[in-house]
Every structure is written in C-alpha cells, then in structure tokens.
Amino acid sequence: MKGQRINSRTAPVECRNAAFIPSPGTPGEGKGEGLLLPSRGACRKLNAPHPCPLPEYRERGKERVASRPAPRPAASRLIALAAFGVAGLPCAGHAKADQGPLLVAEPTKLDVLYLEPPQAWLDLKYFRDDETQKSNAVTNHFTEDQFQEILTLKTTGYIEHPNLVDLKLQGSFGLEQDLLDEDGKKGTENGTFYGWDLNATILRKEELPITVFSRRTEDYFNQPFGPSLQSTFETDGIIFDWQNKTVPTRIEYDHLTEDQKALDGLQNFQETEDVVTWHSSYQPTKQDRSSFDYTLNTGTTSNNGANFGGQTGTDFTDHTISLTNELDFGPNAADYLQSSLNYLNQSGTYEFSDLRYNENLYLQHSDNFSTSFSYLLDKENVGGSFGAITDQLLQRGDAQATYHLFKSLVAVADLSIQRADIEPSGGDTDYSGALSFDYTKLVPLGKFSANLGLSYDQTDNDASGQETHIINQQQVFHGTTPLIITANNIIAGSLMISDSTGIRVYRPGLDYVVRSFPNYLEIERILGGNIQDGQTVLISYNVAAQPANTVRTNSLSLGGRYQFDVGPLRGLGLYAQYIDQSQSVPNNFDESFTPNSLVDKLIGADYQVGELRFLAEQDWHHSSIAPYNQFRADARWTHPISDRAGFTLETGYLMAKYLQTNDMLTDFTVAASANYQFSSELSVNGSVQYQDQDDRLFGPTRGMQEELEVQWSHRNTTAYIQFRNSNIRYNILTNQVQTIQIGIRRTF
C-alpha cells in the first residue's frame, strides 16, 4: 500500500452477508463493472453458480466466478444502499445454494484518516557556550554545555479526501541536558525539547478554504560581536480565504509568543501578541479598484537586562483601519485618482491615535507634460505617556508639474501649503516652493547626469505654551556613523528608540549611547547590542515650548556624475554634490533658537573593474548646528576560485570630525570569507571580521570575530560542526564569547 489507512478494513473475507453482481453490460464471466454490495443472507460457495444468473447465461453459471477488487470508497453511498435492497431479495425458482467454502466481502468504509508513510530523522546535538566578561579587576565567567537528542517525524495526508481536509504534519520531541557553571557555581538542568509545524487546509478546492496552523521553533543565533541568543518562537492561527469573485476576502488570526534570551542571563526579551487581520478587495471594472484592511494587534513585551535598568515592559492594543480606492481614467487610462482613509488607535503604555485622509490626482496631459495634486488631512492625538496630552490637526495641499523639455532634460515644479493647529496651544503655517532640473546625456566614453534644485520655505510658528511631541521619526543606522537629529530645545531624557514595528523598545547603555545638545541629538549604536547595521528604527522625543517666530529657508543644490562605460576607464564613476541652505529667523526673541544654515560639499568616486569594487568620498558639512567633516572609503573583492570554491574580501575606513564638540571618530573594518566544496558530501566555509573604532568622547572599541563551519553528508546521514569566537572591548569592559555546535542527523 502507498500509505497507512486508519479505521478501514480489507476485503474479501468469509461470509459477511454480501453478494457479487456482474455488470449486465459485460457478457461472459461477470468481469464487468460489478459492485461489491451487501445482501441479506445471500451467501454461496465460491464455485457455485450465481444464485440469480441472467436467463441467457444460466448454463455458464457453473464456471468459477472471478473475484474482483473492492470498489473505491468514493462510490456513491445512495447507489450502494439501493443495490443493497435489490441484492437482498430472493431469486424466484432457485433453491438454497449447496454448502461449501464461502468467500464474500464486507461493506467498504471510507478512510477516516490517511497518512503517507512518515519521514523520520534523529538529531544528536551538542552546544557549548563560553563567555567571559572583564571590567577593571572583576571577572565574570559563564559556561553552558547542552546536549539534545531529538526525533522528528514528517508526513502528509488527509481526512476522508485531500479536498476535504489536507494535512501537512511535522513534529519533534527530544531530551535536553544542561551543565552550567557560573563563576564556579555548577548546576545541572534536565528538560525536554519539542517543536512542531502543523497545517490543515479544509475544503481547499472550494470557495472558502480554511487553513489552521501551529508552529513552534527553537534555535540559536549569534549577534555580531555579541552573545549567543536562544530564541523560541510559537505561532498558532487560522486563515479564512474567501475566494469570492466579487469581493475576495482574507481573514487571519495569529497568536504569537517569542522568548529571546542570552545564555548568560544578562539579556531577556519576551513578547506576546494576538493579531487579527482582515483584507478585502473589490474591482467592479479594470479601472476601478478598492480595498479594505483592518488589523487588531494586542500584546505585551518584557525586556530584562542586568545592570541596564532591570526589568522594563510595555503593553499595547492597536486598531488600524484602512480604506483605499484607485480609479484610472482618461485616454489609455493614463490618469488616475487615489483616495485613502486610515485610522490608527494605540492604547496601553504609549497612547496615540491618528486619522489620515489623503487624495492624489495624476493627469497625463501629453507625452511630455503631466501634473499631480494632493490633499492631506491628518488629525493626531498624543496621550500623556509622551508628556502633556496634545491634539494636532494638519492640512496640506501640494501641486506638482513635470515637463520633459527634451529627451535628456526634465523639469519639475512643486508648490505646497500646510497648516497645523496644536491644542492646547501652538501651531504653524508653512509655505514652500521648489524647482528642479534633471539632465542625462550620452557623452564620449559614457554617460553624464546632473541635477539642479532651488527651493524656498517659510514657516510661521505660533507661540507654544508646552512641549511638542515628535513621534516615530524613521531613521536608519549605517555602520558606526552616529545619527544626528536636529531640532531646537530637545528635552533631555525624552528620547525613545524602537524597532520598525514600534513594539520592541531599545535601551541606552545596552543598545545605543546618546549625547544631547540644545539643538541636536547624537545617537550611536553599540557593537554587540540589539540594533544591527542597516536597521530601520523609530525615534520619538519632545521639544520644549518656544515663542512665536518665523523661519525662512532658501536652498540651492547642485550635483553631477560622469560614468565611464567604455575605454580604459570603464567602470569608473566620478560624482559631486553641493548644497547651500540659508535659514533665518527675522523675529527671533529666543536666543536658544539657532537657525540651521549649512553648506555641504561632497566629492567621490566609485570604480568597478572585474571582481573589484572601490569607493571613496569626502564630505564637508559646515552647519550652524552640527558641523562635521567626514571621509570614507571601502573596497570589495569577490573571487570565484573555481566552480567549487570562492573568496570574498572587503574593507572599510571612516574618519569623522565633529567640529562643535571637538570629537573625532575613526572606524576601520576588514572582513574575509571563503568556501570550498571538497566533494558532493563535504563542504567548508569560514569568515573573519575585525573592527577598530576610536571615539575621542566615547572611547575605543575593538572587536574580532571568527567563524568556521564544516558540513558533511553521506546517504541518509548528515553532520556539521560550527565554531565561533568573538572578542570585543570597549573602554574598560571586555567580552569574549566562544561557541561550538555539533550536530548529526540520521534520516530513516
């Protein structure tokens, strides 16, 4: 059999009140489309003539009747019941059959549960974590040795029929043994490991398929220059996917829990969420499209870091509703109108609500000329968790015209007006206009592109009697370069940084350090912390009350790039950018308010030749608030040694001087990685990374990290070994982490 059939029985067996009826459309020996059906006592010998033969074939009834396989469970039960009654009637003119061996079948039952033969594998794992932390004369040492024996089964199947309930099942169970040593205090812990991935799709071919799922995983991952983290993630949910032709709708509920902890116990993060999402779309015509989205997200977080503020936590309940419509019209449907209405209500630790209505109109007047118009109404309410309760009503109108003067020259003009009313006091009115030109031209040896921008902005600020809240300002960390947030009169201690979802809140001293100045903030992420290079974060802070004033800003920007595409300099690009911003406050009654005037000059070059890539640029940023000079360079070499081996080497250098604070930052990084496939069964890859950062105010930071992994497989057996050594030192603190992972898997 292909698989296991549970709660089914096989035929034939001895007399169980059944009769074999040949197909009347198949002459001869009854080998046609006969059904195996129950009767009420019609049992006969295997070699006896049929008790009810057709008249014209009765003489052949003495021949052996060939047995046939049982019918498929999909045969109609109504037909079977009808035939059951007919077969149970006695045949006129026939006496009771002679006694002898009897061979009949029992009624076939539908499969309640069908499962394919399971795939199975056994994992034997060993994990060792060795961490040492030194600070002045104090040394803390922690080690953990963990052994795991895990059995996993995986199968697919169905209940009754794949189109009724389709199953995908995987489960793991095992034992764990932990040997712990913390500063000489030894201990032993025994536990169990369990994980699963269960999925059931009900009525998958129907209009409303339903998917029920549950997943649980446990794994380790390493932070660059940081400790190893053990993460346990579990999600359970159900999905209703209504495939309606008019209004297709998807409704999903998820219950999520995440437990992330450092093995040394210094960092722990727990999160629980219940999420309901609803999405519906409606498209009455090809040009008219609408959608509805609703999300309910409620949960709690807990963040514990020893020596970094202890236990912190948040709770939240978010309601998000979104309605959108897009209508195409005009010749070739080139014009469109986009409308959207969004509402967010957040309660819990941080209270915030936002109602936003937006209209965007785009008109394509000709191949060369287009215009667009937009209107925004945004009403925000910031709760007391950010300070004083405030209400803000913002309205903004924009108009833009784009004209292709030539094939290589595009001009864009923008005009906008904005009014913001803030209760209980304050507000501003903003007027702005901009004109920009983009030029692209094929030139000898390559392509030349240039841009020119002119802009004017005037903001009339009302007097504010209380703090202004800046909520969820999006920023990205690049390497170790600090983020600079410019704003006048930022309140020290009001800064909050979270991940892009706003759920996980990062902590100063563990994930970042901040320096606060009257007119700007300087934020630097910590190597080995929870904020990673290139990560997007949300930043919130408060600005102190300010008197009425008018701020006028004039800007000029100019940039160009020459890209060599042919000749000996092919792959070389030279570029430059110039920005001149002049800001003034004619009626400045507050000396603490500093206009943000600046001149920024940047030149650079990048070069791609074969496997090599180089970049170098110098930036002179002369500003009245946060001036700095910065030079950066990086190089990358990617070399495929053969079809079985590869090598990558990259390095970077950054030097930044912050003139106002007399701070100097230098950062040097070098990283190399290689891989080699010895055979179809054996492969090796490794990497090494070194970083040397020197900050005149924060102190030096130096880190080294090496990783090596070997993988081997042979038939049904696979094995791997991973080694990691990380060492980082900042100021008087030194952290060293060494981990070893060994695993063997046997598949059955």
Q: How far is CA 428 from the centre of its chain?
A: 38
Does the pLDDT of residue 221 top 90, yes or no?
A: no
Residue scoring higher pLDDT (358 or 87): 358
Residue scoring higher pLDDT (583 or 222): 583
514: in domain: yes
pLDDT-derived band at 72 (thresholds 50, 70, 90) equals very low
Percent of the chain at pLDDT exceeding 70: 82
Mean pLDDT is lowest, of 177-186, 445-454, 664-673, for 177-186
pLDDT score, position 548:
83
Using alpha carbons only, give the angle 593, 596, 601 rounded to the nearest 5 degrees.
160
20-46 pLDDT, tens per residue?
334 444 344 444 433 333 333 334 343
**Six-digit token pair at 8?**
């089914």
Does the pLDDT of residue 58 top 50, yes or no?
A: no
pLDDT score, position 411:
97
Phi-psi group of 210: left, alpha or beta (phi > 0 → left; psi -120 to 50 → alpha; rest → beta): beta
494-537 pLDDT, tens per residue?
888 888 887 788 888 778 888 877 678 888 888 777 888 888 89
Give the chain's mean pLDDT: 83
What is the mean pLDDT of the segment spanning 303-330?
Answer: 81
pLDDT score, position 453:
97
68: in domain: yes
Beta bridge partners of 700: 694
631-686 pLDDT, tens per residue?
999 999 999 999 999 999 999 999 999 888 888 999 999 999 999 999 999 999 99
What is the mean pLDDT of the segment spanning 401-429?
Answer: 91
3-state secondary structure of 667: strand
pLDDT score, position 108:
52
Residue scoring higher pLDDT (384 or 105): 384
pLDDT-derived band at 148 (thresholds 50, 70, 90) equals very high
Count of alpha carbons within 13 Å of 322, Cβ hemisphere only? 14
Domain end, chosen from 29, 55, 87, is at 87
Does the pLDDT of residue 246 top 90, yes or no?
A: yes
Q: CA 479 to CA 459: how far, in whole Å?
A: 34
**Six-digit token pair at 131?**
């961490």
pLDDT score, position 590:
60
pLDDT score, position 15:
39
pLDDT score, position 75:
39
pLDDT score, position 710:
97
pLDDT-derived band at 439 (thresholds 50, 70, 90) equals very high
Which string of b and e fits 431-443 if b means at least 16 CB within 10 Å?
Answer: ebebebebbeeee
pLDDT-derived band at 317 (thresholds 50, 70, 90) equals very high
**Six-digit token pair at 292?**
């509805």
497: in domain: yes
The boundaries of the domain holding residue 519 are: 475-544
Q: Which residue has the tokens 């004209």?
A: 403
Q: Which of 267, 262, 228 is nearest to 740 (CA)?
A: 228
Q: Residue 592 in contact with residue 573, Cβ under 8 Å?
A: no
Beta bridge partners of 126: 147, 742
pLDDT-derived band at 5 (thresholds 50, 70, 90) equals very low
Domain end, chosen from 544, 572, 595, is at 544
464-492 pLDDT, tens per residue?
777 777 778 888 888 777 888 877 778 87
> Is the sign of the CA dihedral 222, 223, 225, 227 positive or negative?
negative
Beta strand residue intervals within 116-209, DSSP E: 119-135, 138-159, 165-182, 185-202
Counted residue by residue, the chain has a size of 748
Q: Residue 322 in contact with residue 292, Cβ under 8 Å?
A: yes
pLDDT score, position 265:
66
Domain end, chosen from 37, 64, 87, is at 87
Percent of the chain at pLDDT exceeding 90: 54
pLDDT score, position 66:
38
Q: CA 392 to CA 355: how far, in whole Å?
A: 11
| Residue 219, CA distances (Å) to 216, 321, 669, 671 in order | 10, 35, 29, 26
pLDDT score, position 592:
61
Residue scoring higher pLDDT (317 or 586): 317
Q: CA 604 to CA 463: how far, in whole Å?
A: 43
668: in domain: no
pLDDT score, position 110:
59
pLDDT-derived band at 14 (thresholds 50, 70, 90) equals very low
pLDDT score, position 64:
37
pLDDT score, position 588:
59
> Is the sign of the CA dihedral 19, 24, 29, 32 positive or negative?
negative
pLDDT score, position 361:
98
18: in domain: yes
Beta bridge partners of 485: 521
pLDDT score, position 264:
65
12: in domain: yes
| Residue 114, CA distances (Å) to 69, 108, 152, 165, 210 in order | 20, 15, 19, 10, 19
Residue scoring higher pLDDT (51 or 687): 687
| Residue 666, CA distances (Å) to 642, 649, 686 in order | 37, 21, 27
**One-letter identity of residue 346:** Q
Per DSSP, helices labelled H in 542-596 are: none
Q: Residue 595 in contact with residue 584, Cβ under 8 Å?
A: yes
> How many domains in the chain?
2
580-620 pLDDT, tens per residue?
999 988 765 566 677 889 999 999 999 999 999 999 999 99
Q: Residue 87 in contact with residue 52, Cβ under 8 Å?
A: no
pLDDT score, position 93:
40
